[in-house]
């Protein structure tokens, strides 16, 4: 029908258009008027504008859709992992890519939020992520030639930091704007503000308000007042130029910005003018910045050791080892075993004793390195250590690097011998030299102690030849000594993942005849661990530093559980301990005796290289509560100590003796660490005496005074974790009635010193430095062998 009607009278549109134009009287004029040309152009322009506008909108929509919120710049999402001392309260240090501790907005004080909004983006709560008015104003000012103004909203700044590079380009500007709009739509204002305040850099290495509050005012962010809030809102504008610690100029600049922030707050009505004026009178107080840098002093050694240890642990959440990323930026909470007061007692102790004054012979005192460690018997917790010099000067941790063990290894040989059936009263050849196979061994100073010295005396006076005779008397002696040492906590020669210990191997721990004389390199940490086994009545606990690791939500990612393994029977441990107590009470380690006279056991040690140079000087020892090892080395750890370490006139002892500086350092450390601790007694020695192996050919001695022998005791009244009775008990009545009430052996006939002339320091020949290479405790004469 419509078609019919149209056909009847309606002209088609083009016809009507043509008709209208022809009806226009002007158009009929032959010359085209100017106005008409203008109109045509206007029309064309209009069409073009609409098209362009449409294109623009389409383009914007396309851009908006195509620009995804990218992955945030990873480092801005990291949180510092915080390390704590034993007990989990005092902070030891932190690992950070950026020092940040993210907190929810609710924990930030209102004054701070208001100050930042007032200073940075007053339209924050009303704008759409970009401040169009602000942009117009900025453009106008820039065109006018005024100051170059920016018009970044908080959202834009946040986007810029979190997602974009810092380069200046239009592309980035466009992207920034679009992302800001997008963020604005997807997140609430509070989320954006919280993200911004947790992300932005405030100077002094602090990212986010929490770290900033700590860095500038040493308070948690929640405790910031108006003045402090205004300062933080000021410095974030230009942290490089506004830190008041940088001098007068920076302080002045800060003051200007500070005034501006307070004025802005007053202008936005967040504070009254009076309050603003009152606050503006002066800047808040800035506490002195911590002088110690993060890694200065022992702290760097601690943080490095702790990080190494965490990286070796398994994260319960992932089932994998902890990664560097997790430790540096995962916001972990790492609780350690390090005891703050013991740590400083150790530092004080070392610094008190270590010689620092250069002399003619003692050149370059800074080449002297001291490593020390304290381990807790019964748990294996590393309570304190001394890594050496300031970490910023030398990163080598001598508590872990250690030195050649020397005679500090002899207690392990004593334990192995007692296990093998010997007793403390069995006698060995103490004369020097002694030849085993083709190798000759000498005592320190080539001194003779008699052809039949007891094992106690050999320990007390550190008689090398007697220990060589002992090792030779055992069948497969060197291997047995190593096995015993490993059971007690000295790691094997080869590093294996299952090994415990720090480090988890012992360089040079090989089964040769001289193994008891200690050419192997042992760390003070491991030495203290091994000695702690003796202190803990023969039960070994692997050493550990990391107690617990939790993530930001409090999920436990790692929890250390103390483990134990019996290495020696309680009786044997009490005997080894007894022999070592003689070292302190009347042997080479007398200077280690603690000031309060509490029972102490220990062993001195020096190691000598092929040239006869002393290359390490040790003292390691323990009380029932703590085991501590101290080593002195020079240069790279194998430098010559004899003739270099200064003679100590006040104790009349040569510098390189283990009984001098190391024993005195031990004394100083333990006096401090054990201050206020109960005095605990050692268990009485059991004087075990088994069947010595056939390979033992006892030297003839006149019959000693009768010695009552105790029957072998069981492992003491200790509750072992094994179920007794088990469903399948061992077929022997394994659990003999423990004999905690066994009377101690009669004290009268001291089993020691029947043949050795009493002498306070019999092993100290006191050679003067000019007499050439000294024969030390563990010196050897054969080539190719280390003492």
Partner 1 sequence: MTHVHPTREDGVVRGLSEVVGGPVGDHAGPPAHPPAGRAAGGGPRVTVLGVLLAATALTFALGLVSKAACAGQDWSTTDPSRYTHVCVSEVPDAWTGEGLAELAWPWSGDAQTRQRYPVTQEPALVGLWTYATARATHLLAGAPDVEDRYAAAPGDLASEPDVVAERQVFAAVNAVGLAGSALLATLALWASRRRRPWDAAVLAAAPVLALAGFVSFDLLPVVAVAGALWAWSRNRLVVAGVLVGLGAAAGVWPVLVLAAYALLCLRDRRPALLLPPLVTAVGVWALANAPAFVSGRAQWEVFWTAAWRRTADQGSLWFVLDDVAGLDQALVRGLAWGLVGSWWAGVLALVLLAPERPRLSQVALLLVAGVLVLGPTYEPEQALWLLPLAALAHPRWRDLLVWQACEAAYLALLWWWRGGLLSPGSGGSAGFYWLAIAVHLLGTLWLVAAVARTVWSPRRDVVRATEGLPAQVTSTRSTRVVV
Cα 263 to the chain's mean position, in Å? 46
Is residue 504 a contact point for partner 1 (CB under 8 A)? no
Token reading at 520 = 């192997």
Q: What's the min distance (Å) between Cβ of 384 and partner 1? A: 17
Q: What's the min distance (Å) between Cβ of 723 and partner 1? A: 4
What part of residues 585-624 is at the interface with partner 1 (CB under 8 A)?
none
Q: What's the min distance (Å) between Cβ of 316 and partner 1? A: 9
Whole-number Å distance between alpha carbons of 59 and 48? 16
Closest CA to 522 of 375, 405, 380: 405
Q: What's the min distance (Å) between Cβ of 578 and partner 1? A: 22
Q: What are 386's strand-pairing partners? A: 372
89: left (phi over 0), alpha (psi -120 to 50) or beta: alpha
Stretch in the footprint of partner 1 (CB under 8 A) among 48-56, 580-588, 621-629, 724-732: 724-732
Q: What's the min distance (Å) between Cβ of 715 and partner 1? A: 9
Please compute, for residue 757, the number of CA atoms within 13 A of its CA located in the half-sphere on the CB side: 8
Whole-number Å distance between alpha carbons of 592 and 583? 9
Q: Nearer to partner 1 by C-beta: 5 or 723?
A: 723
Q: What's the min distance (Å) between Cβ of 377 and partner 1? A: 10
Is residue 378 a contact point for partner 1 (CB under 8 A)? yes
Whole-number Å distance between alpha carbons of 747 and 744? 8
Residue from 722, 748, 770, 783 touching partner 1 (CB under 8 A): that is 722
- The CB density around residue 747, as the number of other CB atoms within 10 Å, is 7
Q: What's the min distance (Å) between Cβ of 561 and partner 1? A: 4
Q: Nearer to partner 1 by C-beta: 361 or 563?
A: 563
Residue from 12, 726, 770, 783 touching partner 1 (CB under 8 A): that is 726
Q: What's the min distance (Å) between Cβ of 372 and partner 1? A: 23
- The CB density around residue 331, as the number of other CB atoms within 10 Å, is 20
Q: Please tell me what DSSP assigns to residue 314.
A: B
Residue 383, SS3? strand
Whole-number Å distance between alpha carbons of 608 and 642? 10
N residues, the chain = 787
Q: In what order do the strands lie in the sheet with 546-550?
A: 91-95, 81-84, 333-336, 546-550, 556-559
Q: What are 632's strand-pairing partners? A: 370, 617
User: In 708-764, at which residue ranges do the beta strands (DSSP E only) sit?
Assistant: none
48: left (phi over 0), alpha (psi -120 to 50) or beta: alpha
Is residue 89 a contact point for partner 1 (CB under 8 A)? no
Is residue 723 a contact point for partner 1 (CB under 8 A)? yes
Is residue 733 a contact point for partner 1 (CB under 8 A)? yes
Is residue 719 a contact point for partner 1 (CB under 8 A)? yes
Is residue 317 a contact point for partner 1 (CB under 8 A)? no
Residue from 736, 744, 750, 768 touching partner 1 (CB under 8 A): that is 736
Q: What's the min distance (Å) between Cβ of 558 and partner 1? A: 10
Residue 148, SS3? coil
Is residue 374 a contact point for partner 1 (CB under 8 A)? no
Q: Nearer to partner 1 by C-beta: 23 or 723?
A: 723
Stretch in the footprint of partner 1 (CB under 8 A) among 177-185, 260-268, 502-510, 716-724: 716-724
Q: Nearer to partner 1 by C-beta: 130 or 381?
A: 381
Is residue 709 a contact point for partner 1 (CB under 8 A)? no
The residue written with tokens 């860095």 in the block is 215
**Residues in contact with 719: Cβ distance below 8 Å, sequence separation at least 6, in sequence order:** none
Q: What's the min distance (Å) between Cβ of 675 and partner 1? A: 22
Which string of DSSP letters, residue by residue, matches 406-425?
GGGGHHHHHHHHHHTT--TT
Stretch in the footprint of partner 1 (CB under 8 A) among 317-325, 508-516, 517-525, 730-738: 730-738
Q: Nearer to partner 1 by C-beta: 381 or 615?
A: 381
Can the peptide bond before residue 14 be classed as cis, meaning omega within 30 degrees of 0? no
Phi, psi for 152 (deg, rounded to 5): -75, 130
Residue from 14, 725, 747, 758 touching partner 1 (CB under 8 A): that is 725
Is residue 738 a contact point for partner 1 (CB under 8 A)? yes
Token reading at 257 = 């910005």
Identify the burial level of 330 via C-beta atoms within 10 angstroms of its C-beta, where 0-12 means exposed, 13-18 middle and 19 or more buried: buried
Residue from 379, 484, 506, 577 touching partner 1 (CB under 8 A): that is 379
Is residue 204 a contact point for partner 1 (CB under 8 A)? no
Whole-number Å distance between alpha carbons of 497 and 650? 47
Is residue 729 a contact point for partner 1 (CB under 8 A)? yes
Give the per-residue SS3 of 238-289: CCCCCCHHHCHHHHHHHHHHHHHHHHHHHHCCCCCHHHHHHHHCCCCCCCCC
Residue from 146, 717, 744, 760 touching partner 1 (CB under 8 A): that is 717
Residue from 9, 597, 721, 758 touching partner 1 (CB under 8 A): that is 721
- The CB density around residue 174, as the number of other CB atoms within 10 Å, is 13
Whole-number Å distance between alpha carbons of 630 and 608? 17
Q: What's the min distance (Å) between Cβ of 383 and partner 1? A: 13
Stretch in the footprint of partner 1 (CB under 8 A) among 64-72, 561-569, 616-624, 629-637: 561-569
Q: Nearer to partner 1 by C-beta: 236 or 570?
A: 570
Is residue 724 a contact point for partner 1 (CB under 8 A)? yes
Q: What are 544's strand-pairing partners? A: 381
Residue from 104, 597, 676, 737 touching partner 1 (CB under 8 A): that is 737
Is residue 562 a contact point for partner 1 (CB under 8 A)? yes
Is residue 383 a contact point for partner 1 (CB under 8 A)? no
Q: What's the min distance (Å) between Cβ of 770 and partner 1? A: 52
Residue from 27, 559, 768, 771 touching partner 1 (CB under 8 A): that is 559
Q: What's the min distance (Å) between Cβ of 565 and partner 1? A: 8
Q: Nearer to partner 1 by C-beta: 149 or 314?
A: 314
Q: What's the min distance (Å) between Cβ of 114 and partner 1? A: 42
Residue from 560, 598, 634, 775 touching partner 1 (CB under 8 A): that is 560
Pairing state between β 333-336 and 546-550:
antiparallel
Cβ proximity of 550 and 333 under 8 Å: yes
Q: Nearer to partner 1 by C-beta: 564 or 590?
A: 564
Closest CA to 123 of 148, 150, 154: 154
**Residues in contact with 330: Cβ distance below 8 Å, sequence separation at least 6, in sequence order:** 78, 79, 81, 551
Stretch in the footprint of partner 1 (CB under 8 A) among 102-110, 294-302, 597-605, 717-725: 717-725
Sign of the dihedral defined by the CA atoms of residues 663, 669, 673, 674, in that order = positive
Q: Nearer to partner 1 by C-beta: 336 or 465?
A: 336
Token reading at 723 = 């179920």
Is residue 564 a contact point for partner 1 (CB under 8 A)? yes
Is residue 312 a contact point for partner 1 (CB under 8 A)? no
Q: What's the min distance (Å) between Cβ of 310 and partner 1? A: 16
Is residue 496 a contact point for partner 1 (CB under 8 A)? no
Stretch in the footprint of partner 1 (CB under 8 A) among 50-58, 275-283, 678-686, 732-740: 732-740
Whole-number Å distance between alpha carbons of 649 and 178? 79
**Binding residues with partner 1: total (CB under 8 A):** 33
User: Contact letters (x/-) for partner 1, 524-553, by CB under 8 A?
Assistant: ---------------x-x-----xx-----
User: In 489-596, at which residue ranges do the beta strands (DSSP E only) sit?
Assistant: 521-522, 539-540, 546-550, 556-559, 565-566
Q: Nearer to partner 1 by C-beta: 622 or 661?
A: 622
Residues in contact with partner 1 by CB under 8 A are 378-379, 381, 539, 541, 547-548, 556, 559-564, 717-729, 731, 733, 735-738
């Amino acid at each position: 029908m419509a078609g019919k009607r149209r056909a009847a009278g309606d002209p088609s549109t083009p016809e009507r258009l043509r008709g209208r134009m022809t009806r226009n009287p002007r158009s009929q004029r032959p010359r085209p008027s100017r106005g008409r040309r203008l109109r045509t152009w206007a029309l064309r322009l209009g069409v073009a504008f609409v098209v362009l506008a449409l294109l623009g909108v389409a383009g914007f929509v396309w851009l908006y859709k195509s620009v995804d919120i990218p992955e945030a710049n990873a480092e801005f999402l990291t949180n510092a992992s915080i390390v704590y001392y034993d007990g989990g309260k005092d902070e030891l240090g932190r690992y950070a890519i950026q020092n940040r501790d993210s907190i929810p907005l609710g924990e930030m004080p209102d004054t701070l939020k208001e100050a930042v909004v007032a200073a940075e983006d007053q339209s924050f709560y009303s704008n759409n992520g970009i401040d169009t008015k602000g942009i117009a104003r900025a453009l106008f000012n820039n065109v006018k030639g005024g100051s170059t103004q920016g018009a970044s909203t908080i959202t834009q700044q946040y986007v810029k930091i979190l997602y974009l590079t810092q380069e200046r380009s239009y592309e980035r500007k466009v992207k920034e704007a679009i992302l800001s709009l997008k963020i604005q739509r997807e997140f609430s204002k509070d989320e954006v503000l919280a993200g911004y305040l947790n992300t932005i850099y405030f100077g002094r290495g602090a990212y986010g308000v929490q770290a900033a509050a700590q860095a500038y005012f040493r308070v948690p962010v929640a405790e910031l007042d108006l003045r402090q809030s205004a300062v933080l809102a000021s410095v974030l504008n230009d942290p490089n130029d506004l830190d008041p610690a940088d001098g007068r100029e920076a302080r002045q600049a800060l003051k200007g910005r500070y005034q501006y922030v307070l004025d802005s707050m007053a202008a936005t009505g967040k504070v009254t003018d009076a309050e603003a004026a009152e606050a503006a009178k002066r800047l808040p107080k800035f506490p002195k910045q911590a002088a110690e840098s993060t890694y200065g002093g022992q702290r760097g050694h601690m943080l490095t050791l702790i990080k190494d240890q965490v990286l070796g642990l398994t994260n319960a959440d992932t089932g994998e080892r902890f990664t560097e990323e997790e430790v540096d930026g995962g916001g972990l909470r790492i609780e350690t075993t390090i005891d703050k007061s013991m740590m400083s007692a150790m530092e004080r102790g070392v610094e008190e004793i270590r010689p620092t004054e250069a002399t003619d012979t003692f050149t370059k005192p800074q080449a002297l390195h001291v490593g020390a460690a304290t381990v807790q018997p019964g748990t294996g917790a590393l309570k304190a250590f001394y890594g050496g010099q300031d970490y910023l000067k030398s990163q080598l941790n001598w508590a872990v690097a250690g030195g050649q063990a020397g005679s500090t290894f002899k207690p392990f040989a004593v334990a192995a011998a007692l296990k093998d059936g010997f007793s403390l009263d069995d006698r060995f050849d103490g004369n020097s030299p002694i030849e085993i196979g083709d190798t000759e061994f000498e005592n320190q100073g080539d001194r003779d102690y008699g052809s039949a010295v007891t094992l106690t005396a050999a320990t007390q006076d550190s008689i090398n030849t007697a220990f060589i005779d002992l090792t030779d008397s055992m069948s497969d002696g060197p291997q047995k000594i190593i096995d015993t040492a490993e059971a007690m906590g000295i790691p094997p020669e080869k590093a294996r993942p299952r090994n415990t210990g720090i480090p988890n191997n012992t360089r040079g721990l090989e089964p040769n005849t001289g193994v008891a004389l200690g050419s192997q390199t042992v760390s003070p940490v491991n030495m203290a661990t091994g000695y702690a086994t003796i202190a803990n009545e023969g039960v070994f606990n692997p050493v550990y530093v990391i107690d617990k690791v939790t993530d930001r939500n409090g999920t436990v990612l790692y929890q250390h559980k103390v483990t134990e393994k019996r290495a020696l029977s309680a009786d044997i441990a009490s005997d080894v301990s007894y022999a070592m107590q003689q070292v302190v009470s009347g042997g080479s380690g007398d200077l280690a005796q603690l000031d309060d006279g509490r029972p102490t056991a220990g062993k001195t040690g020096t190691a000598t290289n092929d040239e006869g140079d002393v290359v390490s000087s040790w003292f390691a020892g323990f009380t029932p509560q703590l085991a501590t090892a101290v080593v002195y080395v020079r240069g790279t750890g194998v430098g010559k100590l004899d003739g270099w370490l200064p003679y100590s006139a006040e104790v009349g002892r040569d510098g390189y003796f283990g009984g001098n500086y190391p024993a005195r350092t031990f004394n100083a450390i333990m006096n401090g660490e054990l201050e206020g601790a109960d005095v605990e007694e050692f268990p009485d020695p059991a004087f075990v005496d088994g069947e010595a192996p056939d390979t033992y050919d006892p030297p003839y001695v006149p019959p000693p005074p009768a010695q009552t022998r105790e029957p072998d005791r069981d492992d003491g009244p200790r509750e072992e974790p094994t179920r007794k009775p088990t469903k399948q008990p061992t077929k022997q009545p394994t659990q003999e009635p423990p004999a905690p009430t066994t009377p101690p052996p009669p004290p009268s006939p001291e089993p020691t010193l029947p043949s050795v002339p009493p002498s306070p320091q019999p092993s100290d020949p006191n050679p003067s430095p000019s007499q050439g290479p000294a024969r030390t405790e563990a010196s050897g004469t054969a080539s190719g062998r280390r003492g």
